Homo-oligomer: A and B are copies of this chain.
Amino acid sequence: MKSTIKDVAKKASVSIATVSFVINDSKHISAETKSRVLKAIKSLNYHPSKSAINLVSGKTGNIGFILTDDHFLRTEPFYTRIFLGTEFEARSEGYYILLTSVRPDFNEKDILPRFILNKSVDGIIIAGKIPHNLIERISAYNLPTVFIDYIPQTNSSPLVLIDNIQGGLLATNHLISLGHKNIAFIGGDMEHPSLSDRLNGYKQALENANIPVKNNLIVTDAKYPDRQNGFDSAKKIFSKNKNVTAVFAGNDAMAIGVLNYLKNNGYKVPQDISLIGFDDVEADLMLSPTLTTIRVPKIEMGIEALKLLVNTLKNKKSLSKKILVSVELIIRESTSVYKPK
């Protein structure tokens, strides 16, 4: 039933070597022979055995994709979209993606993803913040690695990052251009470079506009940038500061929490408070008003990471490149011109 290279060779009356040369275009074969082989391949519906190729080449044709459980299960499909981009690009490159999630509190006792132990991947893509000891233990295996949306402490690998500073600038400038001056920033998990750079962009924009940066308008103590913490952080800001007219939330999840807080407490968005998020996760169609935000090209990030990795794999030398994907201001309903009361 299943045809092999032998069957093709026999059918085309050539040696198996010739068939292999034709398939891989690795040696010059006369046009006539080539077409005979190609015809045989087609008529037998022949597909080369991956296992055999892998065995002889010493490669696996697989790429490992690692992220933490909580990233994978996040309500907002942020990392899932990145994965989709990677998977999509892997199709054209002929790789398979082995996806695995690890616990966010991965420790010495946990075992490494088995595709690493079993040497079943040629390279690795790591998305999002990942426990440091995991990174260290993986690096012992010397696999080409690309990081997405995270800068590991000890880093020499190619990186695909969001241009968060630019995003922070865009978001804050948008609010400033609407006339806002008392602009709060709500962040969390400031160890993650994404969040801290968004804050940097925020500060920079204020300085550029000669608006003083006030620390009491900046809340960054949430451990994890999710809805609940957005809600709680908003409470901290608004219970003390009555003159805030705009909020820049570190991501859309937090922005949704902020929005909930504002609604529950009688603030109208955007009439009383303008609100901008970050990520554009298209989380919640129910959201009213719809959220002005900074769009992060998630699919593209996944694509870029795979390209980078495949490049490294093929060149046998790590290019150690850094790709900064740019972001885009998406104006919706949650921001509007500042009107003094």
The contact string, 1 if C-beta is below 8 Å from chain B, for chain A 255-288, is: 0110010000000000000000000000111100
Q: How far is the CB of A225 from chain B (nearest CB, A)?
A: 14
Contact B120 A96 (CB under 8 A): yes
Please report whether the interface of chain A is mostly helix, strand, loop or mixed according to DSSP: mixed
Residues of B within 8 A of A100 (CB): 87
Residues of B within 8 A of A231 (CB): 286
Asked whether, in the complex, the Cβ of B101 is within 8 Å of the Cβ of A99, the reply is no
Number of identical monomers bound together in the oligomeric complex: 2
Contact among B62, B87, B117, B227 with A284 in the assembled complex (CB-CB below 8 Å): B227
Which residues of chain A from 20 to 76 have any CB-CB distance to chain B below 8 Å in the complex?
47-52, 54-55, 60, 62, 69, 72-76
Name which residue of chain B comes closest to A54, CB basis.
B51
Whether, in the assembled complex, A97 has its beta carbon less than 8 Å from a beta carbon of chain B, the answer is yes
**Contact partners of A286 in chain B: CB under 8 A:** 227-228, 231, 256-257, 260
* Distance in angstroms between the alpha carbons of A83 and B64 in the assembled complex: 16
* Contact between chains at A84 and B96 (CB < 8 Å): no
Contact of A114 among B74, B91, B118 (CB under 8 A): B91
Per the bound structure, the CA–CA distance linking A100 and B95 in Å amounts to 12
User: Is A240 among interface residues, defined by CB-CB distance under 8 A?
Assistant: no
Query: In whole angstroms, what is the CA distance A55 to B2 when docked?
Result: 13
Would you give 19 A-B contacts (Cβ < 8 Å), ordered by A? A47-B117, A50-B54, A50-B60, A51-B51, A51-B52, A51-B54, A55-B55, A69-B84, A73-B77, A73-B80, A73-B84, A75-B76, A75-B77, A87-B100, A96-B120, A97-B99, A226-B285, A227-B284, A231-B286
- Given contacts A51-B52, A75-B75, A75-B77, list 20 more A-B pairs with CB under 8 A: A47-B117, A48-B118, A49-B55, A50-B54, A54-B54, A62-B96, A72-B80, A73-B84, A74-B77, A75-B76, A75-B283, A84-B101, A91-B114, A96-B98, A96-B120, A97-B98, A99-B99, A226-B285, A227-B285, A231-B286
